Structure 1
Amino acid sequence: MKTLRSPFPRLATALVSTLFACALQAQTLPDKPVVSGTFLGDGKDGKIQYLVVQTREPFSDQPAIRLVFTEKDPSSSKKPDFDAAFKKLGSALVISVHKDGGIFGCDVVHTAHSKSPFSSIGKIKMKEFKVTETHASGTLSTGGTQEFFDQKWDVELTFSAPLPKGAFAATEEEPKPAATPASSSKKMAQEGDNEKPAASTGPQLPVAQLPLPAAARDVEYKKVVGHITFRSDESVSAVATDFSKKLKQQGWKDQPGSLIGKTNAIIKRKLNGADLTIMIQPEGKGCTAKVFTQGLDWSSPPSSTSGTPASQPTKGSEVKDVEDEANKLLNDALKKIPGGLK
C-alpha cells in the first residue's frame, strides 16, 4: 500500500525560506545613512561621511528629493543644504534627483577649490538608483575627472539612506471642471496674454534691462565674462528680497539651489533660456553681490558706476590680450565666492 504525501510541507518550507530571505534583506537596510567612496577636488579627497535626505517640491511636475552629502556632521544644522553651499560643513555635494534617478541639480562644494560652489548638471550621473517605500540607494559618479575653470573634480560615491516622511510626494492637483467652449476660449486668451516668447524664437534679453536692487551702488558690468558686481549699504536679506521681487516681476523663475538667509544668499533664476546665479555676502555694514549670467545680450552693456570701470584694467597692470583680461576679470569676480566660510 502506497503512502500519499501531501504537497503542503514542501510549500510551507518554500514559504518560510522566502520570508526568511526577505527578513534578511530588510535587516541589511540601514536605519541611518551610509556613504562610501571618494569626492576629489584637485586630487584631494573631500572625505564625505554624512548624508541628509531632504524632501523638496516636485520639479517639472515630477516627484524629487534632495541629497546633501557633507564632510562634517550636519546634525546641528537647521538648513544643511544652505550651510553646505557656504562650506560650513566642509566639502559637500548637494544633489536634486527625480525618482527615476535623473539628476536636475548639482552643487559642487570642495574645500580644495577656490572657485566654489559651482553648479554642474550633466557631468554627474546616478547609477543603480533604487527606491523603496522606506529607503533610497545608488551610486553617484562623474565617470572620471571633470574640470570647471581649471579646477578638477571627480565623484564616485555609493550610498543608502532612509527616506524622510513625504519624500517623493507628487503634486496633488485639484479636480478641474469640464471645459466649455466659452471657458476654453477665455483660457486660451489669458494664456496668450501671459505667454512669454521662447528663447529659440525671440531675441536675448539685453543686460541693460536686468533689474538691479534699488540700493545697488558701485555697479560693474564685466562684458568679457558676463558678470555684474555691485555693493550695497543694505543687509544681505534686504538686497536679496528686493532683487528677487524685481526679477519675479520681470518673469524670472526660481530654480533649484536658491538659498536666501540673513547672512548669505544664493539666488538662481531662469527666463527664456537665460540663467542667473547671484551670490550675496556681507561686507562691513552692508553687502556685496556678484551676478553670473548666461544667455543675456551683452552687446551694449551699461557703463559701470564704480570708480574703476570693469572695461578698464587697474592702474599699473598690463593686459596682454583678451584671454589674459578674461582670466583677470574671472578671478576678481570669483575670488570672494563663499570659499572662506568653513
Structure 2
Amino acid sequence: MNARHFVAIPMVAVLIGASMVCVVHAQTSADRAVVKGTFLGDGKDGKIQYLVVQTREPFSDQAAIRLVFTEKDPSSSEKPDFDAAFKKLGSALILSVFRNGDIFGCEVAHTEHPKSPFSALGEIKMKDFKVTDTHVSGQVTTGGELDAFGQKWNVDLTFSAPLPKGAFAAAEEPASEPKKVAKEKSMPAEPAVAAEKLPVGKLPLPSGALDVEYKSVVEQIAFRSDAPVSTVAGEFAAKLKEQGWKDGLGSLIGKNNAILKRELNGADLTIMVQPAGTGCTVKVFAQGLDWSNPPAATAAKSAAGSDAESIEAEANRLINDALKQIPKGF
C-alpha cells in the first residue's frame, strides 16, 4: 500500500484501549524488551529506549496487540498508552498490530512536533515480524522521511519483547444454539438491511463548542470550549449516550485530559479533550459517519488557514485508495 493517511489528533484512534494494563516481565534480561534504532522528528531523534507490549481487544475479528514505544521509562505508568499519547513519556510511537504483522493503527507523538500526536497510516510498515509463545520481534520502518502537516518524521526501529499473558486473544465466537428440528420447509433468509450512516451534522456537540471545523478529507471535527476538560467531556459523553452511542474500550475521563471511545451501528468515535488555557480543545475522529454534506465551519477562515487546508488535502489526496486496502471495520 503506497498511500499515506495522516490525521492530526489526537487518533484517531488512535489511541485506543487506554484502559488496558500491560504485563512487563523484568526478572531476567531475556524478559526485558530491547529496542534499537531511530525515531526522528524534524531531524531530531526521539531516543526510543522502552517498549511495552499490551493486550487489546480483537479488531475486525482479528487478534491483535498494541506496541507502545517510549523515550522515558513507562514502568511507573498505570496507562502507558494513554500517557504516551499525551507525551508524558517523552517521544512515543503507538502501534496496533495484527498477528501477521500488518499495522492497522499508528499514533505518532514526537516532542519536536507541535502538531502532534497525529495518526498515520499507509507508509509505516512491519518487517521480519515474528511471534512465538512467549516473545514478539520485528522491525518498524517508514522506509525514509515522511511529511505530516509540514512536520518531518522517520522511523527505523528493531525490537524484541516478551508477550503478556492473553496476547493475540482471538475474538470470542457466540455460543451456537442447538438446532431446532422443523418439519416445515426452510425459507431462504432475507438479506440484512445495512443501517444508514448517521450524518456528521447530527452528531451532538457540547453546548459550549466554539470555532467548530468539519474536515471531511480526514473525517475529523475540531472545536474549542471555554469550559474545563472534565465539564466538556462529561457533557459530550451524556449527549452521545442519549443518542444511543455505546462505550468503547479505552475511554478515560480525568481532570486534565480525556479520551472517549464510542460505537454506534458500525460507526466509531475517538474523542480527545486536552486543556488549553482556562478551557480546552477537542478533536473528534469520526469513522463510519455520512460526510457527504458536513455543516459549515463556525470559525472564520484566514487565508493562511485556507492554504494549510489545501496542503492537508493534497497530502491526503490518495486517502480513498488507501482506505480500500485497510482491513474492514477500521
Find the counterpart in structure 2 of residue 264 from structure 1: 257
Match of 2:300 among 303, 311, 318: 311
One-letter amino acid of the counterpart of residue 195, structure 2: K
Matches within 5 A, 1:1-342: 30-180=30-180, 192=192, 195-197=194-196, 205-213=198-206, 216-222=207-213, 227-231=221-225, 233=227, 235-244=228-237, 246-247=239-240, 250=243, 259-262=251-254, 263-267=256-260, 277-283=270-276, 287-291=280-284, 296-297=290-291, 299=293, 301=295, 304=298, 310-311=299-300, 313=302, 319=303, 322-323=306-307
Query: How much has 1:63 moved relative to structure 2?
Result: 1.3
Aligned residues: 277
- 1:53/1:297 Cα in 2 relative to 1: closer, same or farther (>3 Å)? closer
Q: Say if 2:34 and 2:159, in contact at 8 Å, map to a contact too.
A: yes
One-letter amino acid of the counterpart of residue 97, structure 1: V
Query: How much has 1:245 moved relative to structure 2?
Result: 5.1
Q: Report the Cα distance in structure 2 between the residues aligned to 1:273 and 1:227, rounded to whole angstroms.
A: 18
**SS class of match (1:243):** helix
Query: How much has 1:179 moved relative to structure 2?
Result: 4.7
Find the counterpart in structure 1 of residue 15 from structure 2: none
Q: Say if 2:229 and 2:279, in contact at 8 Å, map to a contact too.
A: yes
**SS class of match (1:217):** coil
- 1:90/1:321 Cα in 2 relative to 1: closer, same or farther (>3 Å)? closer
Query: How much has 1:244 moved relative to structure 2?
Result: 4.0
Q: Say if 2:262 and 2:270, in contact at 8 Å, map to a contact too.
A: yes
Q: Name the stretch that deviates more: 271-280 or 91-100.
A: 271-280
Query: How much has 1:241 moved relative to structure 2?
Result: 4.4
**SS class of match (1:208):** helix
Structure 1 residue runs of 5 or longer lacking an equivalent are 1-27, 198-203, 305-309, 314-318, 329-342
Q: Report the Cα distance in structure 1 between the residues aligned to 2:87 and 2:69, rounded to whole angstroms.
A: 12
Q: TM-score, normalised by structure 2?
A: 0.70
Structure 2 residue runs of 5 or longer lacking an equivalent are 1-27, 313-330
Identity rate of aligned residues, in percent? 58
- 1:303/1:69 Cα in 2 relative to 1: closer, same or farther (>3 Å)? closer
**SS class of match (2:236):** helix
- 1:142/1:250 Cα in 2 relative to 1: closer, same or farther (>3 Å)? farther
Over the residues paired in the alignment, what is the CA RMSD in angstroms? 3.7
Q: Name the stretch that deviates more: 140-149 or 241-250.
A: 241-250
Q: Report the Cα distance in structure 1 between the residues aligned to 2:246 and 2:102, rounded to whole angstroms.
A: 21
Larger-gyration structure (1/2): 1
Query: Higher relative contact order by CA 8 Å / sep ≥ 6: 1 or 2?
Result: 2
One-letter amino acid of the counterpart of residue 56, structure 1: R
One-letter amino acid of the counterpart of residue 323, structure 1: D
CA deviation digits over 1:39-85, x for unaligned, max 9?
Answer: 11111111000001111111111111111100001111110100000
Q: Say if 1:96 and 1:106, in contact at 8 Å, map to a contact too.
A: yes
Q: Report the Cα distance in structure 2 between the residues aligned to 1:293 and 1:176, rounded to whole angstroms.
A: 34
- 1:302/1:63 Cα in 2 relative to 1: closer, same or farther (>3 Å)? same
- 1:254/1:114 Cα in 2 relative to 1: closer, same or farther (>3 Å)? farther
CA deviation digits over 1:253-295, x for unaligned, max 9?
Answer: 8778x55230212346677897755331235665432335677
